[in-house]
Structures are given as structure tokens and as C-alpha cells.
Chain A
Amino acid sequence: MNPNSINIYWFVIPLSISISLVYAATRHESWNRIAWHAARLC
């Protein structure tokens, strides 16, 4: 696969989702709150 054929911003998506979920999970215990917090951060 040619690395230059992929827009680098596609790699930000999994990074952003992971950071949001992990950060939200360290702030809350309830899954609803984790999901809302993560969604706000994304």
C-alpha cells in the first residue's frame, strides 16, 4: 500500500475515538455518561 495515497486525516479518526473513550471512561462509571462525554469530545 502506498502511504502517500491515504489522506493523513483518516488516521485521526481512530485516535480521536480512542482518546475520547478512554478519557471519558476515567471520568465516569456509568456507560451513559461515558458515551455522552466521549461523544462531546469527538
Chain B
Amino acid sequence: MKPANIDLKNPYLAAFLAWFMPGLGHVYQGRRGKGVLYFVCIFLLYAVGLYLGEGKIVYWKWVNPLRNAEEFRLAYLSQFWVGLGALPALLQATLAHWNQPPILGGFLAEPPLHVINELHRLGKFLDVGTVYTEIAGLLNILAIYDAFEGPAPELEPEPTPVAAANASMVENGV
């Protein structure tokens, strides 16, 4: 249900932009405040999570989960929705799949096994970082939906300025 007072412009483009960079789709629709809110909440959460995991907790590997469940990166399925921030992982995994060397200085490439094992010295930072990056991706799904469809319908509609004024007049006995 599309709210009548919001111009969603091209919702498909807005949804793509919202995925590509959290908040960008809303800025495109002229909802700048919401765009900034989404960017700060989602991208900052993702960046802090990535920092806590020393940049080695977001990576992807092209494996069949039914044949190699241990190496399948379930976490990336939610991290992916952050968009540009997690996209290099997909690129690096594709290059690795085709036996090509990593680019971007190995940013978000799959770390060697000894590096992954060594990450456990981070203790709770490793878990917190993983949870932050995953939640950031999942939150961006909500933001993408908001860019595509507008705010979710409410049980009680938001009062228009005229309705709010009438309600206050009734309350004051005017």
C-alpha cells in the first residue's frame, strides 16, 4: 500500500540504490532525513563490526552448501544486503573461484585458514563484529522495502495537520 503523500519516484531504482548504499534510495526520493538515518545506523554498524573483526569476518566462498556445509558462509547471506560495503567479498570470491589473484589489496578476500584460526584471539570482538555486520545487512532489507514501498501500513493512520488541529479543539472544548 503506497502512502499518498510520498513520491517514491521509480521504486525499483530507489530499492537498488537503497541496497547499493544504505540511505541512498531515500535521498533519491527526496527523503534526505531518513536517508541519513539509515546510513548512520546501518553503515556505521557495519563499519564498526568490520573493524572489530579486523576486516576478516566478511567474505564469501563459492561452495555448494549441501556438499560443503562447513565452508559455506551463512553469515554473508545477511552481510550481502549492506551493498557496496560487502560487495568486494563477492568479487574476491569470484576471482578466487577462477584462480585469479585478489584485488584491492585482498580487501574482503577469504583469509587463509591460519588467519581465520588466529582470529579467535579477538574473543568476544569476533562474535560482536559478526553480529553487527549481519544485523546491519538485515536492517538494510527493511530500508530497501521502505524505499520500494514506503512506510509499512499502520493500524492507525498518521493524523493530517487539519485532523490534529480538530482533535486538539475537541480536547479543549472549543
Min distance, Cβ A29 to any Cβ of chain B, angstroms: 6
CB of B123 within 8 Å of the partner chain? yes
Q: Are A29 and B3 in contact (CB under 8 A)?
A: yes
Q: Main secondary structure on chain A at its contact with chain B?
A: helix
Number of interface residues of B (CB under 8 A): 32
Selected A-B contacts with CB under 8 Å, 7 pairs: A4-B123, A15-B131, A18-B44, A22-B42, A25-B37, A28-B154, A29-B5
Classify the interface of chain B: helix, strand, loop or mixed: helix
A1-42 near B? 1/0 per residue, CB < 8 Å: 001101010010011011101110111111101100000000
A2, chain B: closest CB distance, angstroms: 8
Verify B33–A27 contact, CB threshold 8 A.
Answer: no
